[in-house]
Amino acid sequence: MAKLNIAPTKSNLLNIKEQLAISTEGYDLLEQKREILVMELMRIVEKVKLLEVEMDKCAAKAYPALKNMLLKVGGDRVERIAHGVEYDYELTKKPVTIGGMSFTTIDVNLPEKQLFSSFKGSFADSDEVMSDFFDYLVLITRMASIRTIAWRLALEVKKTQRRVNALDKMVIPQDRETVKYIESVLEERERDNIFVMKSLKKKQGSK
């Protein structure tokens, strides 16, 4: 690793040693941060896996129910029933703190589940289908929120890893090499000064 291009002086040695101490401490803190973020990311990934299982089960129930409904009453009537169903929802940003860090995710506010079998010519089977798909929609919105957090965490892990690598592979080795170089130059100068002083004393003693 190449050293920094600075003059080998005592003041520069003190500055580089101080910079090295800060870099080393920063590396330790960033490494701890990275480990915490990775642990949190793994925890959220597990949540995603469990939620995917729930979604698969819900879809396995909802889509066959919709197919049976289409076979019973026909597509035109299902479409008329669908046009009579209205749900309003709201998307909002939500701050989340994970591992001591703040992230922004999305939160979906869904209305309460409604039954429509007594309106617009719908019936119990249609309510069952709508209920299944409403449950599926709830899971989808939860998945969207969790995946948003996972995505932002992954970006933060990647950014932190780059900073850790920069300190570990470049900054700290470069500072250490510079300290080693300056110390060797100063030691060599000290030896030269001692040699010169001894030579002067010998000359003065021979007079």
Nearest C-alpha neighbor of 189 from the set 13, 16, 20: 13
pLDDT tens figures, 107-164: 777 777 666 554 455 566 777 888 888 888 889 888 988 888 888 889 999 999 999 9
Which among 161, 179, 180 is positioned nearest to 20, based on CA atoms? 179
SS3 content of the chain, % helix, strand, coil (to 5): 75, 10, 15
Give the model's confidence band at 207: pLDDT under 50 very low, under 70 low, under 90 confident, else very high. low
Neighbours of 4 (CB within 10 A): 14
CA-wise closest residue to 99 among 154, 54, 178: 154
* Bridge partners of residue 108, in order along the sequence: 91
pLDDT above 90: residue 203: no
For residue 114, the model assigns a pLDDT of: 67
**Could you tell me the two tokens for 23?**
């870099």
Average pLDDT of every residue of the chain: 84
The model's pTM is: 0.72
Distance (Å) of CA 73 to CA 30, 81, 99: 62, 11, 52
Distances (CA, A) of 140 to 134, 147, 154: 10, 10, 21
Span 88-119, pLDDT tens digits: 777 788 788 877 778 777 777 777 766 655 44
In degrees to the nearest 10, what's the CA dihedral of 201, 203, 205, 207? -150
Per residue in 19-76, pLDDT tens? 999 999 999 999 999 999 999 999 999 999 999 999 999 999 999 988 888 888 788 8
Helices (H), 3-123: 10-73, 75-83
pLDDT of residue 4: 78
Tokens 């190449």 correspond to: 2
pLDDT band at 197 (very low <50, low <70, confident <90, very high): confident
